[in-house]
């Protein structure tokens, strides 16, 4: 066993998470919103209707409020 | 103990999301879709006699769409889970990354899926009033946001208790009690559901659908946490790794 191995103490170094990583998370949440929640707030017309119908089973199955 | 890099966590998160999505879509196909088919039969019986509209998306495409949506949602949620994991890793009360990943996924499941499912249970097609969908969506999303805040509060309570010299089990118990109390308060405070169940929809169908929906969500989060944790576990086997003593079988 190399001498540098820690003793398993509860000291854990924080990981630096830059803003760009949080922007990625926000974009990911935005996609979830579009797929599951969107009811005409962002998209309109034919695209909205198609997206809604295509993911309709998924919405209900994942427990999201639907009409 | 080695510290994983942010990029490494994100890559593993994406993989865990794919695995969780595949498992969830299999549950969707095998468990949820048969119940949706029963609900659609109710809808059809309701509109019997009126000329059928040409559907925008066919049934086969909707089934496929439900499975695609499950995969896409799981990948996105897993990326969020990975970013949050990197941010709060040093605050999570577990000794290994496997334990931390499973714990964080559990908190995500409770906040994002279990508490909303208990307060506003899932409904199959054939149930629901289009006029109230905006209000119901606002209630649902605000409950999720508050649920995430409660999870964060529970982790903080445990940390404060540790800093005050409480033993590890007592501090964890304090955090769990704070979290449970917080979630119960949310359930009581948030406005009640506005969904009327139509008389022609059997109670058995509603129950089966809610259980099936929760099964899909549970499968998704469980897979996400376990796979992320496994991928973060160093692949060192043999006596040298065991002698380290910093890893345990479950990490919890």
If one compares B211 and B49, the residue with the highest pLDDT of the two is B211
- Please say whether the beta carbons of B123 and B212 come within 8 A: no
Question: Nearest CA to CA, how far is A3 from chain B (Å)?
Answer: 11
Confidence of residue B252 (pLDDT cuts 50, 70, 90): low
- What burial letters (b/e) apply to B225-251, b meaning 16+ CB within 10 Å? bbbbbbbbeeeeeeeeeeebeebeeeb
Question: Which pLDDT does position A12 carry in this prediction?
Answer: 87
Q: Flag whether pLDDT at A44 surpasses 90.
A: no
Does residue B251 have a pLDDT over 50? no
**pLDDT score, position B148:** 97
Look at the block and give the residue holding tokens 């969780």.
B20
Q: How high does pLDDT run on average in chain B?
A: 91
A-chain residue closest to B217, CA distance:
A62
pLDDT of residue B15: 98
pLDDT for A3: 47
What is the average pLDDT across B214-232?
Answer: 98
Q: Which position has the token pair 């003793």?
A: A7
Chain B: nearest CA to A24, how far in angstroms? 8
Is A44:A36 a contact under the CB 8 Å cutoff? no
Q: Tell whether B67 lies on the interface with A, counting CB pairs under 8 A.
A: yes
Residue A4 pLDDT > 60, yes or no? no
Contact B140, B116 (CB under 8 A): yes
pLDDT of residue B240: 53
Integer-rounded Cα Rg, in Å, for chain A is 21
- Residue B60, CA distances (Å) to B42, B47, B52, B145, B245 in order: 18, 21, 17, 34, 53
Min Cα separation A45/chain B (Å): 13
pLDDT band at A37 (very low <50, low <70, confident <90, very high): confident
If phi > 0 it is left, if psi is from -120 to 50 it is alpha, else beta; for residue B209 that is: alpha
Helices assigned H by DSSP within chain B: 6-27, 33-46, 59-88, 97-109, 115-119, 133-163, 168-189, 203-232, 238-244
Choice between B247 and B79, residue whose per-residue pLDDT is larger: B79
Q: Which pLDDT score, from 0 to 100, does residue A10 have?
A: 58
Question: Could you read off the pLDDT of B168-221 as tens digits, one per residue?
Answer: 999 999 999 999 999 999 999 999 877 889 999 999 999 999 999 999 999 999
Please tell me if residue A47 touches chain B, with a CB cutoff of 8 Å. no
% of chain B with per-residue pLDDT over 90 = 78
- Chain B residues touching residue A10 (CB < 8 angstroms): 95
**Any B CB within 8 A of A65 CB:** yes
**pLDDT band, very low/low/confident/very high, at B239 (cuts 50, 70, 90):** low
With a cut of 60, say whether residue A6 has pLDDT above it. no
Nearest CA in chain A to B62: A54
The answer to whether the CB of B183 falls within 8 A of the CB of B113 is: no
The DSSP secondary-structure symbol of B54 reads P
């Amino acid at each position: 066993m190399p001498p540098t191995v820690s003793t398993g103490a509860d000291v854990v170094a924080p990981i630096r998470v830059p803003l760009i990583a949080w922007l990625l998370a926000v974009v990911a949440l935005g996609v979830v919103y579009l797929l599951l929640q969107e009811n005409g707030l962002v998209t309109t017309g034919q695209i909205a209707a198609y997206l809604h119908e295509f993911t309709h089973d998924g919405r209900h199955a994942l427990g999201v409020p639907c009409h | 103990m080695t510290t994983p890099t942010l990029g490494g966590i994100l890559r593993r998160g994406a993989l865990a999301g794919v695995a969780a999505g595949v498992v969830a879509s299999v549950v969707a196909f095998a468990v949820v879709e048969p119940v949706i088919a029963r609900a659609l039969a109710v809808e059809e019986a309701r509109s019997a006699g009126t000329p059928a509209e040409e559907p925008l998306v066919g049934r086969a495409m909707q089934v496929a769409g439900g499975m695609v949506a499950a995969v896409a949602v799981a990948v996105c949620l897993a990326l969020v889970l990975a970013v949050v994991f990197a941010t709060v890793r040093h605050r999570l009360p577990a000794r290994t990354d496997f334990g931390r990943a499973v714990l964080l996924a559990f908190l995500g499941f409770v906040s994002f899926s279990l508490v909303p499912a208990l307060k506003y249970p899932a409904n199959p097609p054939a149930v629901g009033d289009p006029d109230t969908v905006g209000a119901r969506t606002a209630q649902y999303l605000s409950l999720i946001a508050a649920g995430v805040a409660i999870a964060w509060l529970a982790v903080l309570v445990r940390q404060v208790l540790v800093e005050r010299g409480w033993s590890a089990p007592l501090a964890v118990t304090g955090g769990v009690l704070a979290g449970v109390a917080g979630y119960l308060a949310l359930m009581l405070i948030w406005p009640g559901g506005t969904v009327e169940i139509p008389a022609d929809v059997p109670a058995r169908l509603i129950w089966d659908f809610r259980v099936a929906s929760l099964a899909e969500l549970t499968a998704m989060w469980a897979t996400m946490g376990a796979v992320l944790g496994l991928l973060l576990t160093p692949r060192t086997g043999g006596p040298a790794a065991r002698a380290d003593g910093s890893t345990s079988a479950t990490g919890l």
